[in-house]
Amino acid sequence: MNGHRSPRPPRISRGWGRAEAWRVLCSRRAARLAGASALAAAALATAISGGAAATAAGSQLTIADVAPFTGPDAALGPTYLVSCDAASNAINKAGGVLGHRLGCKAVDTRGDPADAVPAVRQMYASTSNLVLVIGCTSDEAASVVPVFTAEKTVSFCMTGQSEFDHVMFPYFYRLVPPDLSESYAMIAIAHDVLHYKKVALAFGNDIGSQAFVAPALQAIKKAGETLSANETLDLSATTFRTEAAAIVNSKPDVILTEALGSTDAAFLTEVKQLNGGKMIPVIGTSATIAPAWFKSVADAVGASTLASDFWADNLVTATSGPAFQAFSTAMDAEKGKVGQSGDFSTYLTAPGAVHLYDGINLAALAMIESKSTTGSVFKADIEKIGDGVPGATVVYSFAQGVAALKAGKQIRYVGPGGPTSFDAYHDSTGLFQVDRYTANGTVTVTGNLTTGQLRALGL
């Protein structure tokens, strides 16, 4: 899920031919992945006992939002930062963590693994009392998660990359699904909900977006659908006439897409133009449920068109009840404090906002339970508080949780993202819902997808 999490390709000279550019892109990616793998091996082999030193009484604890703030995926970092500020301010209002206040820090990876590692190294060199990392999208996760492991820093990441499905990084936690299951969810919407037969794919050429393609092709075959076209969109391009024409000429019933930044807006504009001014229905990933994506695409193809011809998968999240009330109150307090594009209420269903808010609360409550702000000490209580133990009191906010802990109770935290069920790799993912936009950018939930529907497609 790119709630992602979509990486930008290496910078390529506009004067090069496409074949030469592709060879350079592949060689750079291979080098980066090799470097990331070596770093991962070194990190897993490194035994650094004890973690960070004890923090001074009353000092501020820092949560780092490691994500793109510039580049094609520049909307991801600010979305996560809104959630970080909301959670931190609510925690501070409830008394903070062990005598400390929380604060958030932006760390710009530029959506490029080559830029991410130096940025993270600088983060460690310049940041006092760093207790948690959030963000770490598919842009940079393969490069930076091994660094977090070596530094014994707990991280809640937004990557859906398959390499994290079966490799244990002891400080890595994920509340979003792998890209594999999200691809199946998109095909389930096309097949089971909309009853479409011909499917076209149009995904960005970045690592995160391309991760959806192979499982989508598998699910299309399993569902008995027809693949009409499969186009890759270069995120550095400004026009997509060739790709749009190929898809329009293939006459699909629906287009599945994720291409963040300005790409989807430009691409879908050309699809509409080449299709006689009529939009072909579109199904997006959960990363397309975000204020910036809605504004960009709605400005390009028309808000009413987007409202009538667009669907997206998303993890099931609360839209009412005590967990949602606490979350929405915390988020609403951030209105006017951040650059806003689109309806602010979209943050209430944006995967990064919901699940990172839950991650921050889980980590903060684990610190209180363990009486420590050191990652190597408090991380064990994240699963205990998320999954619960027999007889645990269910709490729906940090304030409720800290009150119950002070009363000597065992707790289970259930936030707006729902209850957790962590596996051996610290993954906890829930069921999918079907989201749509209204013409003003508000997100509405139109249905849920069952586990049976996804398993029928190969999950």
Residue ranges covered by each domain of the chain: 52-177+353-413, 179-317+430-455
Tokens of 241: 């006439």
Tokens of 447: 């249905």
Contact indicator for 386, 413 with CB cutoff of 8 Å: yes
Scanning 46-193, the segments in alpha helix (DSSP H) are: 76-93, 113-126, 141-150, 179-188
Whether pLDDT at 137 is above 90: yes
How does pLDDT run across 240-278, given as a tens digit for each residue? 999 999 999 999 999 999 998 899 999 999 999 999 999
Whether pLDDT at 351 is above 60: yes
Contact indicator for 353, 331 with CB cutoff of 8 Å: yes
192 contact partners, CB below 8 Å, separation of at least 6? 449, 453
How does pLDDT run across 53-108, given as a tens digit for each residue? 456 667 899 999 999 999 888 888 998 999 999 999 999 999 999 999 999 999 99
Share of the chain above pLDDT 90, in %: 69
pLDDT mean over 188-202: 97
Q: Residue 185: what pLDDT? A: 95
Query: DSSP class of residue 100?
Result: B
Q: Which CATH number does 179-317+430-455 carry? A: 3.40.50.2300
Length of the chain: 459
CATH architecture of residue range(s) 52-177+353-413: 3-Layer(aba) Sandwich (3.40)
Contact indicator for 256, 186 with CB cutoff of 8 Å: yes
The vertex-134 CA angle with 128 and 135, nearest 5°, equals 130
pTM: 0.76
Give which of 355, 412, 405 is closest to 98, Cα–Cα. 405
Tokens of 174: 């994920």
